[in-house]
Amino acid sequence: MNEPVQADEKTTPQGTPPDADVVGPAFRQLCEVVAKLRSADGCPWDRVQTLESIKPYTLAETYELLEAIDSGNDEAIVEELGDLLLQVILDAQIGADSGRFELADVIERITSKMIKRHPHVFGDAVADSVDDVRRHWERIKSAEKKRDSLLDGLPPDLPQLAQTARLSSRAAHAGYDFPDRVMLFDKLREEIDELARELFADGRLPDVPASVETDVIPDEPITDPDRARRVKQEIGDVLFVVANIARRWGVNPEEALRESNRKFRRRFQYIERALAESGRDIREATLLEMERLYQQGKRKDESAATLRPQ
């Protein structure tokens, strides 16, 4: 197992740029490696890549970096940052090879953007708070992009929970938001009631406690297309409100869901491992057995969490 990268014992002031004598040659070598891979005597796979074909890899590397950051393992973070940097340089090399743009164009554009969008650092503007910074950023960005709507410009491939947070945040910056965030829970109840009216004959949520100690009742599919469409809309509205609750409490809903997915994965795989150790397959276990092991895994998970450094 790789040991985490150790921070340099010598401390430097926050905001100190890297040593150009160190970074410059290392960056140039990486660019030369990528260019060689794309050359006539390079790698057949790299040579045929286009900006379109490389997109899934760029997205995958982004998510792998997020996982590494969540793990807190500096060695993993360094590796995944490198993989993401490789994607940027490869994209730029593909652009250069097709005569569309150069890596220098990419660097100059982002440098210019950062200077222009931080007038409180590189100009005479004043920003006394994070909200002031956001207002400067959005005002300058809106003028640059010449968009018709504050909601324009969000990437269409952005995960939908993240998109909800971005959409509602932009609307909130224009003043369109509940004055008290607690009001969102009343809105959530309203949306759940509307969902219940579509799901249940009497329009009310059944009072059925969550338990595995009952007979399994098979799910009945919705056969009416119009009803299925309405149910989908109401579920979407519930998720929209939940994402807004996360936003108003300063939680990224996409990150929250990713953590819940990781947690469920750990605990479900605990069930699989526990059963495998006794020579059984999970498909042979009863629901009660699986739930008992799930709760056992949950307790171990929570115990381990208390021992991790915060």
- pLDDT, one tens digit for every residue, the chain (310 residues): 445 455 455 577 899 999 999 999 999 999 999 999 999 999 999 999 999 999 989 988 998 998 899 888 999 999 999 999 999 999 999 999 999 999 999 999 999 999 988 988 998 888 888 888 877 777 777 777 777 787 887 887 788 888 999 899 889 988 899 999 999 999 999 999 999 999 999 999 999 998 888 888 899 999 999 999 999 999 999 999 999 999 999 998 988 998 899 899 999 999 999 999 999 999 999 999 999 999 999 998 888 766 655 5
For 63-85, b/e burial (b = at least 16 CB within 10 A) is eebeebeeeebbebbebbeebee
Distance CA 154, CA 149 (A): 11
Contact residues for 124 (Cβ-Cβ < 8 A; gap 6+): none
- How far lies 20's CA from each of 17, 57, 81, in Å? 8, 29, 19
Outline which parts of the chain fall under CATH 1.10.287.1080.
23-108, 183-206+224-307
Helices 253-277 and 160-173, packing angle to 10 deg: 160
Superfamily for the 183-206+224-307 domain: MazG-like (1.10.287.1080)
Inter-helix orientation angle 225-248/183-199, to 10°: 160
CB 61 within 8 A of CB 87: yes
Of the candidates 86, 47, 45, the residue with the CA atom closest to the CA atom of residue 64: 86
Give me 175's structure tokens: 């003043």
Phi first, then psi, for residue 42 (nearest 5°) are -95, -140
Contact 199, 274 (CB under 8 A): no
CATH 1.10.10.200 holds for 23-108: no
- Token representation of residue 200: 């249940």
From the number of C-beta atoms within 10 Å of its C-beta (0-12, 13-18, 19+), residue 166 rates as: middle
